Amino acid sequence: MKQFTYYAIALLMCLQACRSDQSKTDESETAIKLVSPDFNADSAFVYTKAQVDFGPRIPSTAAHTKCLEYLFQKLKSFGADVAVQEGPAQTFDGKKHTLKNIIAQFSPEKTSRVMVTAHWDARPFSDQDPDVNMKNKPFDAANDGASGVAIILEMARQIQQKNPEVGVDFILWDIEDYGKPNDESINETTWCIGSQYWAKNRNTKAHRPLPLYAINLDMVGGGNAQFTQDEISRKYATPIVNKIWDIGNEIGYGAYFINVPSGNLIDDHFWVNQAGIPCVDIIHYADQSGFYINWHTQLDNLNNIDRNTLKAVGQTVLETIYREKEISR
């Protein structure tokens, strides 16, 4: 009898353990159901490094020209229709440049589209560096520029392998980060020159109908990143803000996509909104702490790029795109 009881108890414990293990398996399988491909953060890191290796991508420099060719060919190799929008530009210091926005389209025949953007240029000086001897020195711009572009490149690679239901437009803005420190002009017009030019001179035939919405990526690879909901995004694109932040939280990145409002930020998304496309800014910024800790300093380098942040942003944006459905327009 004792032996029978022992075996019965052992069997019961085994069954309970099996059920518990099965429950854990079921929970892990149902907790996060992605419809998007797996965003590869290692790949995005490689694309970040490739840009940094050219040196600071300051407009009108050799590094800028070499990086342009790299980005153009890389997007083309992923199957996108790629073009460069060129235009005259003058920066606040009186220097004249030819800006070069890189525009890539996937499935241009589709009428339901999502647009994702980032700037690919580098600021020519690290004016926020605590060392006064470094304030006029260029910096790598690994996070402030290269990280957003790298996420776009990895998304393009994934789209080539598995098409979403909607078309996707990528735009890499030029001369975004060459603005006047403490710019007091209306809408800080010495910044975001590439997106300003596009908003005023875009090819309307190539963008009809307009994308459903746009997402701008800026400083999306730093450690301990938190992305708040800025005032411009909330003003022009509240439903899109809610959608992206809800998806980020749903798929496990709530530590990054925090439901906290922040103040007025003039970034490339402002000008996209002026062009009639609701646009959200995913940017490492909070009212209390300001921008990314290494913003416009010598420490904005590859050593301070975090693959976990690249993953959080890349997977969230990719999932947002792949959940969109083609609609009749």
Report pLDDT for 32. Answer: 77
Report H helices in 123-256. Answer: 148-161, 193-201, 231-250
Spans in the chain with pLDDT lower than 50: 1-15, 17-18, 20, 22-30
Say which residue the tokens 């220097």 belong to.
95
Indicate if the alpha-carbon torsion angle 32, 36, 38, 39 is positive or negative: negative
**Cβ pair 176, 193 in contact under 8 A:** yes
Question: For the domain bounded by 38-322, which CATH number is listed?
Answer: 3.40.630.10
Please write the tens of the pLDDT for every residue from 166-196.
999 999 999 999 999 999 999 999 999 999 9
Q: 11: which residues sit within 8 A by CB, 6+ positions away?
A: none
Domain ranges of the chain: 38-322
The bridge status of strand 279-283 relative to strand 257-261 is unpaired
Report pLDDT for 190. Answer: 98
pTM: 0.90
Please write the tens of the pLDDT for every residue from 110-130.
999 999 999 999 999 999 999
